[in-house]
Amino acid sequence: MTDIPRIAITGASGRMGQMLINHVIASDRVMLSGAIEREGHAWVGKDIGEAMGGAPLGIIVTTDAATAIAQADAVIDFTAPAATLAFAGHAAAGGTVHVIGTTGMSDDEIAQLDAPAGRTVIVRAGNMSLGVNLLTQLTKRVAAALDEDYDVEVIEAHHNQKVDAPSGTALMLGEAAAEGRGVALSDVSDRGRDGITGARKRGDIGFTAIRGGDIVGEHDVMFAAAGERIILRHIASDRSVFARGALKAALWGQGRAAGAYDMLDVLGLSDTL
């Protein structure tokens, strides 16, 4: 590893990819070493700075993820599940820290990260922001304090281009509520309501997904009982909160023992609340 960690960014042309690149080049703690895009993308072969409408940065957008990741100390990845699994293999081969913000991964896909996590540091989270990770811990504590007289509903809102639902953050919050109650989310999750659904099942954790406009990310966890509601809320108004968290994770992972970590580990919140 160089004195200043080298960072490769996957999905370089995407909203989060460009946000991450801007944060990396603005930082004096890391340096950009690679920009990765899919085969056939118009940016491939171009200088990433020029492709983003700015000055050249001397980094050419590439489809050769294996080489770009091998030359980096950390790769930050907000792409798609299949791509993330491929990148995880490359990161494990090179001992590169892999920061994963990809959402929409199935339980089986997440389980497939166990093997590469045995060879390198993987930090995976449905949301990289400090506020959301605090909300996760609060949700767990409130769920533990309240019995099943309180229905739990996770309500999330995102922009109209988001392709997965519920969001990764919503699932994080649902997992936290389930853990607080000592149950498995898979046993109590209620994700689909349409038509004559019947009464709500006691103890279920429900999910509601809203898609519209340019909403960055809003999450409410509602505990509703007869006569009262408790609502925990986080609103992200700027994607930079996710980029800052991802860079923090990339730096935190340097020199760590191989393994699977999350943002609670990065932020030192694993044992709090």
The answer, yes or no, to whether residue 273 has pLDDT greater than 90, is no
Question: Given this model, what pLDDT does residue 120 score?
Answer: 98
Question: Given this model, what pLDDT does residue 60 score?
Answer: 98
Q: Which of 23, 158, 234, 248 is catalytic?
A: 158
Question: Is the N-terminal amide bond of 5 cis, ω within 30° of 0?
Answer: no
The answer, yes or no, to whether residue 272 has pLDDT greater than 90, is no
Question: Given this model, what pLDDT does residue 231 score?
Answer: 98
The answer, yes or no, to whether residue 209 has pLDDT greater than 90, is yes
Q: Which tops the pLDDT comparison, 168 or 51?
A: 51
For residue range 10-54, list pLDDT tens digits in order.
999 999 999 999 999 999 999 999 999 999 999 999 999 999 999
Kindly give, in sequence order, each residue whose CB lies less than 8 Å from that of residue 22, ignoring residues fewer than 6 positions away: 52, 243
* Portion of the chain with pLDDT greater than 70, in percent: 98
Annotation says 201 is catalytic: no
- pLDDT range class, residue 271, cuts 50, 70, 90: low
| CATH code for the part of the protein at 6-124+239-266 | 3.40.50.720
| CATH code for the part of the protein at 130-236 | 3.30.360.10
Write down the domain spans for the chain.
6-124+239-266, 130-236
Annotation says 219 is catalytic: no
Q: What stretches of the chain show up as alpha helix (H) in DSSP?
A: 15-26, 48-51, 65-70, 81-94, 107-111, 114-117, 130-145, 168-181, 185-188, 240-252, 263-266
The answer, yes or no, to whether residue 127 has pLDDT greater than 90, is no
Please say whether the dihedral angle defined by the alpha carbons of residues 24, 216, 271 and 207, taken in this order, is positive or negative: negative
Which residues lie across from 97 on neighbouring strands?
74
Residue 22 near residue 10 (C-beta atoms within 8 A): no
Classify strands 97-100 and 121-124 as parallel, antiparallel or unpaired.
parallel
In this structure, what is the dihedral angle of CA atoms 216, 251, 77, 124, given to the nearest 10 degrees? -80
User: 258, 264, 263, 262: which is closest to 117 by C-alpha?
Assistant: 258
Question: Given this model, what pLDDT does residue 3 score?
Answer: 85
Tokens matching residue 52: 């983003």
Mean pLDDT of 235-257: 95
SS3 156: strand
The torsion angles phi and psi of 31, rounded to 5 degrees, stand at -135, 145
Residue 112 burial class via C-beta count within 10 angstroms: exposed 0-12, middle 13-18, buried 19 and up: middle
User: 233, 225, 227, 231: which is closest to 147 by C-alpha?
Assistant: 225
Kindly report the average pLDDT of the chain as a whole number: 95
